[in-house]
A and B are shown apart, each in its own frame.
Chain A
């Protein structure tokens, strides 16, 4: 039973435009959500997080939105750059040391 779902395996966006990556979850006990970025042959790198007490968190070009009623979060990248091309993983935790990951979305930003 997949508790964290990223239904889009891939996304292609033109440089300078907005990239929107989506994530859905099923466990209402999740209270902390993270996005990780992964380049080929490297481990995942933490990007941005959000607590369930907030609905938005922003860090430079990256903004994460949380809709608790819909059990949905999204990552917005504006403007998208070619260096943003990577696999993005959504992850969630429920007041524990453990993270549950989604299957990832491969973002390609083309010139």
Chain B
């Protein structure tokens, strides 16, 4: 029974064509995260929400946006994907003082 669900698992988009990745959770955790992971690299935090409070990392490109309409859902919008944005995107949730729970990720390819 998956608790952090990412859709789709694989996404192909064209260079410059906006794309949205989604994450949902059944855990009712108040913190949600988006990470980008490229091959053989560490997962890199893009931004996170503490409830509705949005926290952007200083080096997250402006091309990346996020929405959290409610506790259960969080979206990652890439406005104009470039070839360098091809990566695995991981969503995670956390309750205070507990480890982060990860989804299985969305692998994004750019044509």
Interface residues in chain A, defined as those with a beta carbon under 8 Å from any beta carbon in chain B? 2, 4, 9, 34, 36, 41-46, 49, 89, 97-104
Contacts and interface: CB of A to CB of B under 8 A. Distances in A.
Q: How large is the interface on B (under 10, 10 to 19, 20 to 34, 35 or more residues)?
A: 20 to 34
Contacts of A41: 104
Interface of B: 4, 6, 31, 40-45, 48, 50, 55, 90, 92, 94, 99-105
A9 B40 contact: yes
Overall SS of chain A's interface? loop
B40 A99 contact: no
A90 to B, nearest CB: 9
Given A43-B104, A46-B99, A97 B42 contact: no
Contacts of B42: 2, 4, 89, 100-104
Contacts of A97: 31, 48, 50, 55, 94
A21 to B, nearest CB: 15
